[in-house]
Amino acid sequence: MFLATEGGKTKVPTHLPYEEWDCSTLFQATIYAKSFALPDTTGHHRTLSDLFLKYRKPPHGSFHSSVVSPGGNNAETFAMANDQLRFLRNAFSHSFSSKIDKKTFDQYIQHTKDAIKALGVTTDPIDAVGSLTESDFPTEKVCKLKDDITKELLTEITFLKENVEDELMGMRSDLARSRQERQEDSLELRKTIEKATVNQEMATKRIAEIKEFLKTELPGK
């Protein structure tokens, strides 16, 4: 049903159960999905991202100041809360450090609680994480988290590199094919010119022979 609503094409892995979806997939299935689209002022259906988020992006590296709709619109709150979680996910995924200071940690916990609460989900698990101290994160676990982040970044870099290489190979192939076609066209044109020149020379020679024949055979003409 979801795939049909999306028009038969989506970035959401609909062949997998939603328990296996990651954060990026969940965002694609909600704020960017046609399934949750609503009519705008002109009656055209727009995704929640286009309706409520497109023109209110916070500065890079920051978050929405509030995830609750000023006008009490539940759909807007839903979109803002999911987008806040997306910003949090990006903050962690794009971090090159396994360290985080207490102030930032508390800020992230509060942003998460606000978003989760706005979505009507219990914040008990978040409160449990917020109560953890530095001693609850042993070096071994931190190293594993660092390794996981590094692997994810390397996977992303490899994916981008392969895409760029494929694009370059395609461009080179197109260029080579275009160059070959130009060479073939040039060769064909040269052959045509040479053939026309030979024909012109033969015609000129034949005309001269005819004139000579007429002078010989018909001297008075």
Q: Where are the domains of the chain?
A: 2-136, 138-221
pLDDT of 183: 74
Query: What is the structure's pLDDT at 214?
Result: 59
d(CA 65, CA 114): 10
Are 34 and 4 contacting, i.e. CB atoms less than 8 angstroms apart? Answer: no
Residue 112's contacts (CB-CB under 8 Å, 6 or more residues apart) are 85, 88, 126
The sign of the dihedral angle between the CA atoms of 71, 75, 81, 86 is negative
138, pLDDT greater than 70: no
pTM exceeds 0.75: no
